[in-house]
């Protein structure tokens, strides 16, 4: 039996993945009508519907559900074959990392990886966006997650996103020092609506904290909050292991040993079927060893 047209298979794979003709068309650079036509060609070849058309949504039919995994695997094999070929020509490792980890750790240490592996060119993108690693341009992502995510993805914990209040020495001294958790309520709070404050104060047994009536900010990124805290603008709730140099140098102080958690951590993520790609393996092994100290119990 001859193979169906590759364009039709590619359209089917994209629609099966998105379960949306419009998004599949955008990804493929085709019109929605063209995608529908390619699916029709494939359904005529198979002899049965591959999708169930419902109001405002579609779903895979029984035949489509049987076909989709094998087609996706076939396209993954093609992608990986081209990626492996590209490695012999231009060995570039593309990493997308959340801004806090990129600024507070990755940017400071990436030079060590490149010294150890000068044959690998590294491209780093800072973003919190959800990335399709299986079909996108990035080899690896570093994201804040609550644990392993999604079938077909490998997730390695780099560091738990525990948190505690950090502030400048000058701000602490402005009220004669911070010796009790309640003392923090006397000071400006950066991003007071952040749930981390509620979680930490409850863990510390402090009542009476509220974001209401406090100046509102929404910097979000710990790297920005840490910079504002060092400037004496307020108390920030930060992951102290990522700011240990700032604490060691006295630019920030950590008044309390108490660490709270929202159950999240910074994870290294990449597709399972690419775990043995040389550049990914080299980076994985390096970063897991380089961050091991951050996973050690105090």
Pair (170, 187) in one structural domain: yes
Residue 48 counted as domain residue = yes
**Residue 224 vs residues 44, 55, 169, 211: alpha-carbon distances, Å:** 56, 45, 18, 19
**Range scoring the smallest mean pLDDT among 157-161, 192-196, 225-229, 243-247:** 192-196
Pair (68, 113) in one structural domain: no
Q: What is the mean pLDDT of residues 248-264?
A: 94
Pair (113, 241) in one structural domain: no
Distance CA 156, CA 284 (A): 9
Structure tokens belonging to residue 149: 């995510």
pLDDT at 89: 40
Pair (217, 238) in one structural domain: yes
Residue 85 counted as domain residue = no
Q: What is the DSSP letter of 16?
A: H
**Range scoring the smallest mean pLDDT among 16-25, 118-127, 144-153, 256-265:** 144-153
Pair (152, 174) in one structural domain: no
- For the chain, count helices (H), then strands (E): 11, 9
pLDDT at 221: 84
Mean pLDDT, the chain, integer: 88
Query: Of the candidates 23, 56, 77, which is a domain's last residue?
Result: 77
Residue 256 counted as domain residue = no
**Residue 64 vs residues 11, 26, 31, 185: alpha-carbon distances, Å:** 13, 21, 22, 58
Pair (25, 146) in one structural domain: no
Q: What's the number of domains the chain is made of? A: 3
Pair (168, 220) in one structural domain: yes
Residue 284 counted as domain residue = yes
Structure tokens belonging to residue 194: 């952040």
Pair (197, 69) in one structural domain: no
CATH number for the domain spanning 54: value is: 1.10.10.10
Burial class (CB in 10 A: 0-12, 13-18, 19+), 90: exposed
Pair (173, 231) in one structural domain: yes
Domain that holds residue 281: 90-158+263-295
Over 50: is that where the pLDDT of 12 sits? yes
Pair (188, 217) in one structural domain: yes
Residue-wise pLDDT tens digits, 132-179:
777 678 899 999 998 777 678 899 999 999 999 999 999 999 999 999
CATH number for the domain spanning 203: value is: 3.40.190.10
Higher per-residue confidence, 33 vs 89: 33
Q: Does residue 228 sit in helix, strand or coil? A: helix
Residue 82 counted as domain residue = no
Residue 115 counted as domain residue = yes
pLDDT at 113: 93
Over 90: is that where the pLDDT of 267 sits? yes
pTM attached to this predicted model: 0.69
pLDDT at 111: 92
CA-closest candidate to residue 181, choices 160, 159, 150, 208: 208
Pair (151, 279) in one structural domain: yes
pLDDT at 30: 85
pLDDT at 150: 67
Query: Of the candidates 34, 56, 77, which is a domain's last residue?
Result: 77
Pair (72, 97) in one structural domain: no
Residue 61 counted as domain residue = yes
Residue 83 counted as domain residue = no
């Amino acid at each position: 039996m001859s193979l169906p047209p590759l364009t039709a298979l590619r359209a089917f794979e994209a629609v099966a993945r998105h379960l949306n003709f419009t998004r599949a068309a955008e990804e493929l650079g085709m019109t929605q009508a063209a995608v529908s036509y390619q699916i029709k060609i494939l359904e005529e070849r198979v002899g049965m519907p591959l999708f169930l058309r419902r109001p405002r949504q579609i779903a895979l039919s029984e035949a489509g559900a049987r076909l989709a995994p094998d087609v996706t695997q076939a396209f993954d094999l093609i992608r990986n074959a081209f990626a492996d070929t590209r490695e012999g020509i231009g060995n570039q490792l593309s990493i997308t990392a959340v801004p806090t980890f990129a600024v507070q750790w990755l940017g400071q240490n990436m030079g060590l990886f490149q010294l150890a592996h000068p044959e690998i060119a590294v491209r780093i993108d800072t973003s919190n966006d959800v990335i399709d690693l299986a079909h996108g341009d990035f080899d690896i992502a570093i994201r804040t997650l609550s644990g392993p995510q999604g079938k077909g993805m490998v997730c390695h914990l780099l560091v738990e996103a525990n948190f505690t209040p950090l502030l400048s020495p000058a701000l602490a001294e402005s009220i004669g020092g911070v010796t009790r958790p309640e003392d923090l309520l006397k000071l400006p709070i950066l991003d007071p609506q952040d749930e981390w404050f509620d979680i930490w104060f409850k863990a510390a047994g402090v009542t009476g904290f509220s974001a209401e009536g406090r100046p509102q900010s929404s910097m979000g990124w710990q790297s920005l909050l840490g910079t504002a805290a060092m400037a004496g603008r307020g108390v920030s709730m930060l992951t102290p292991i990522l700011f240990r140099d700032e604490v060691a140098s006295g630019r920030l102080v950590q008044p309390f040993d108490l660490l709270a958690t929202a159950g999240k951590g910074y994870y290294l993520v990449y597709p399972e079927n690419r775990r043995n790609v040389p550049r990914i393996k080299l980076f994985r092994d390096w970063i897991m060893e380089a961050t091991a100290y951050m996973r050690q119990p105090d």
